[in-house]
Amino acid sequence: MRLRSTLTVSFRALRRNVLRSLLTALGIIVGVGAVIAMVSIGNGAKSVVEAQIASLGENVLLVFSGSFNQGGARSGAFGAGTLTVEDAEAIKREVTTVIGVSPEVRSSAQILANGLNWSTQILGEGADYLTIRVWPLSDGVMFSEADVRSVGKVCVIGQTIATQLFPDGSAVGQVLRIKAQPFKVVGVLAAKGLSVQGQDQDDLVIVPYTSAMRRVSKQTMLRSISVQASSPDTMTLAQNDIVALLRQRHRTAEGSDDFTVRSQVEIAQAATATADTMTGLLGAVAGVSLIVGGIGIMNIMLVSVTERTREIGIRLAVGAHGREIQLQFLTESIVLSVLGGTIGILAGIGASELVSHLKGWPTLVSPTAVVVAFFFSAAVGMIFGYYPARKASLLDPIDALRYE
Amino acid sequence: MSAVVKLEDIHRIYDSGEVKVHAVRGVSLELHKGEFMAVMGASGSGKSTLMNTLGCLDRPTSGRYLLDGVDIAGLDRNELADLRNEKLGFVFQGFNLLSRTTALENVELPMLYGRRRISHRDMQERAEHCLEIVGLAARADHFPSQLSGGQQQRVAIARALVNNPQVLLADEPTGNLDSKTAVEVMGVFQKLNEQGITIVMVTHELDIAHYCRRNLIMRDGKVVSDVQVTDRLSADDELRKLHAAEAAAKLTA
């Protein structure tokens, strides 16, 4: 079998009917383009979610105080502060795979500075908090462990607070008042933007948890504890150890825990599952159009075989083998579909660029989708080209030559 | 000299269910190198079936066919195709050129299916050479739609020649041409025959048969007459006469 001659013959045949070749390939172009664009959009959405999850920090485990049962009345999640500062200290002390712990309390308050005021969320955190969350400062420093121990009147503020309360110049070194108590601003956080839920993550003030508990909200229990494991591999181990430790400390049995330990991985999985489903759905719908494109190719190839019966007769008469005729038509359909696939990939990338440009949606072209779409389109050409090619190869030369 | 084509008691029966059509009933003949034979007969006389058999497009129901010493009885579909490619050249009534394909590429076609590897450059040179033989070197890059009927048939002849066949088979090559063009095409055949190429052609025009050396007449699947042509016409002479007549017509008009 001389591949080069067959390719020559196929290309000549396609070149003879450029418009029809392009129209035939159009089905594949649209199909592949749609797959690429849809998957890009789906992936873009997923990447946003993933970025949000990553913003939780590195190897983070979150211990939430859970519901508790008192005389048959059950509280909701976070309902009771069941976690204590001692719990947090115990975790830090006894779980060896943990490298950072930050107890957390939350409350909201009206804060004042420069004659301006603003209602915001006050987070009480440990000194490790920013390290755990991998949240850099744009200015100043984080309060220290000493500030935590001394119930210091220091705070770190988000970008929104900085613009709202300190519109002119640097906020670091300035003083703001929370519940009439002065707190010195030691650092300004880098901007983080909106969360997946649409909340402004920069609208907050972080103070040492000790200060939050005693000076701001008079809470005695923790809302949650952020824990950082030493590496991704030790997360499961750390999680199990924390659960065991807290059960021991709280004297609870499995099933009646008054706390919940969630790993970042679990949260990420839950959040990306939706995005994955979305991508899958979009891809499947686009995939259907690829099949339709394939049927289009088959249709045109069948028409082409009938229309070119005499040509096939001539080729057989001058010595073509049935296999060569088959290969010619198969090559034609594969060339059409691969050509369509290539143009479709470019069109899909273009379309996703356009979407992100016009709609402002984030898109992410998936190399896997590109490769899969390319080979899938080649496979479509092969599968849907096979029957017409086979039909052509089985023609009898005498009948084919006489065909009108 | 051994025969290029040798038929021994060839029968061909078409079996289409209940009706059996006995198209060729016992034909034996020999064709030697350099012969130029016309096969004539009314439609249904079996001449097309005989041509298909000679062209290895069809197998006889019984009888022996030796082409260049090869018995085709034992060959499969692909081996027959190879035989057609190497030893036979076909010229059809309807030209059967590939449309939207240049004359040169049409002539290259049989080489694309040859078992021997030929480089692209050689292919092109050989195709150009064959176009030159039929006097169409200047039209190599024309498409069939841009050529007259006679020119198209000459491209078809060039295509038939390109693999140096043992026998050139022509099925009513002048059937679609006007009489003057037909004479021109016969001139091409005569020139090729003088160079030693064996030609078999089917025709139902008696005057066209007169350009050949041998006339075979078939009726009801049998050969009823097989004679050498005595008063053979020369296409060159006839063309000259035609030109003279045309010139005269213009002079007197």
Pairing of strands B198-202, B167-171: parallel
* Candidate from A40-49, B6-15, B55-64 with smallest mean pLDDT: A40-49
Element (H, E) at A227: strand A224-229
* Candidate from A70-79, A87-96, A250-259 with smallest mean pLDDT: A70-79
Shortest Cα–Cα distance, A401 to chain B (Å): 8
**Helical ranges in A78-187 per DSSP H:** 85-94, 129-133, 145-149, 159-165
Give pLDDT tens digits for A333-354.
888 888 899 999 999 999 999 9
Contact B29, B214 (CB under 8 A): no
* Candidate from A90-99, A144-153, A196-205, B209-218 with smallest mean pLDDT: A196-205
Contact B83, B56 (CB under 8 A): yes
Q: What is the pLDDT of residue B63?
A: 92
Confidence of residue A265 (pLDDT cuts 50, 70, 90): confident
Interchain proximity B55–A317, CB inside 8 Å: yes
Q: What is the pLDDT of residue A76?
A: 58
A17 touching B, CB under 8 A?
yes
Residues of B in contact with A399 (CB under 8 A): none
> Own/partner pairs for A244-252, CB < 8 Å, 24+ apart?
A245/A90, A245/A91, A245/A94, A245/A95, A246/A63, A246/A83, A246/A87, A246/A91, A249/A86, A249/A87, A249/A90, A250/A82
Contact A303, A392 (CB under 8 A): no
B109 touching A, CB under 8 A?
yes
Q: What is the pLDDT of residue A79?
A: 55
Per DSSP, chain B holds a count of helices (H) and strands (E) of 8, 10
Give pLDDT tens digits for B133-179.
999 999 999 999 999 999 999 999 999 999 989 899 999 899 888 88
Q: What is the pLDDT of residue A376?
A: 85
Which of B76, B109, B124, B145 should be substituted to probe chain A, the one whose Cβ sees the most A Cβ atoms within 10 Å? B109
**Reduced to 3 states, what is the DSSP secondary structure of residue B219?**
strand
Q: How many CB atoms lie within 10 A of CB A403?
A: 15
Shortest Cα–Cα distance, A324 to chain B (Å): 8
pLDDT score of B101 more than 70: yes
B159 touching A, CB under 8 A?
yes
Residues of A in contact with B100 (CB under 8 A): 16-17
- CA distances (Å), origin A382, targets A14, A235, A335: 16, 48, 10
pLDDT above 90 as % of chain A? 17
- Residues B114-132 have a mean pLDDT of 89
Which distant-in-sequence residues (6+ apart) come within 8 Å of A368 by Cβ?
none
Interchain proximity A317–B101, CB inside 8 Å: no
Give pLDDT tens digits for A202-217.
899 999 999 998 888 8
B238 touching A, CB under 8 A?
no
Q: How many CB atoms lie within 10 A of CB B199?
A: 25
Contact A33, A202 (CB under 8 A): no
The CB-side HSE value for A68 (13 A sphere, CA atoms) comes to: 15
Cα–Cα distance, A397 to A69 (Å, whole number):
88
Cα–Cα distance, A348 to A371 (Å, whole number):
13
Residues of A in contact with B165 (CB under 8 A): none
Shortest Cα–Cα distance, B242 to chain A (Å): 34
B113 touching A, CB under 8 A?
yes
B68 touching A, CB under 8 A?
no
Of A8, A310, A320, the CB nearest to B81: A320
Q: What is the pLDDT of residue A53?
A: 73
**What DSSP state is assigned to residue A221?**
S
Shortest Cα–Cα distance, A312 to chain B (Å): 10
Confidence of residue A1 (pLDDT cuts 50, 70, 90): very low
Confidence of residue B99 (pLDDT cuts 50, 70, 90): confident
Q: What is the pLDDT of residue A156?
A: 93
What is the fold, at CATH topology level, of the domain defined by B3-252? Rossmann fold (3.40.50)
Of B52, B58, B85, the CB nearest to A319: B85
Q: What is the pLDDT of residue A362?
A: 81
Q: Residue length, chain B?
A: 253
Pick from A60, A41, A20, A46: which is nearest to A229 by CA?
A60
Pick from A31, A23, A25, A24: which is nearest to A345 by CA?
A31
Residues of A in contact with B101 (CB under 8 A): 12, 16
In this structure, what token pair is assigned to residue B202? 């089917």
Interchain proximity B90–A317, CB inside 8 Å: yes
Of A9, A317, A321, the CB nearest to B78: A321
Element (H, E) at B32: strand B19-32
**Reduced to 3 states, what is the DSSP secondary structure of residue A82?**
coil
Interchain proximity A401–B86, CB inside 8 Å: no
Pairing of strands B70-71, B222-228: unpaired
pLDDT score of A68 more than 70: no
Contact A123, A47 (CB under 8 A): no
pLDDT score of A50 more than 80: no
The rounded mean pLDDT for chain A is: 85
* Candidate from A67-76, A170-179, B40-49, B143-152 with smallest mean pLDDT: A67-76
Q: What is the pLDDT of residue A96?
A: 87
Contact A337, A380 (CB under 8 A): yes
Interchain proximity A398–B57, CB inside 8 Å: yes
Q: How many CB atoms lie within 10 A of CB A143?
A: 26
Per domain, the residue ranges of chain B are 3-252
Interchain proximity A318–B82, CB inside 8 Å: no
Confidence of residue A363 (pLDDT cuts 50, 70, 90): confident
Q: What is the pLDDT of residue A81?
A: 67
In this structure, what token pair is assigned to residue A18? 């450029």
- CA distances (Å), origin B48, targets A402, B8, B53: 12, 18, 9
Shortest Cα–Cα distance, A282 to chain B (Å): 42
Shortest Cα–Cα distance, B78 to chain A (Å): 5
Residues of B in contact with A322 (CB under 8 A): 77-78
Residues of B in contact with A319 (CB under 8 A): 81-82, 84-86, 110, 113-114
ipTM reported for the complex surpasses 0.85: yes
- Residues B95-102 have a mean pLDDT of 87
Give pLDDT tens digits for A220-238.
888 889 999 888 888 888 8
Partnered with residue B167 across adjacent β-strands are B88, B198
Shortest Cα–Cα distance, A17 to chain B (Å): 8
Contact A205, A217 (CB under 8 A): no
Cα–Cα distance, A102 to A228 (Å, whole number):
9
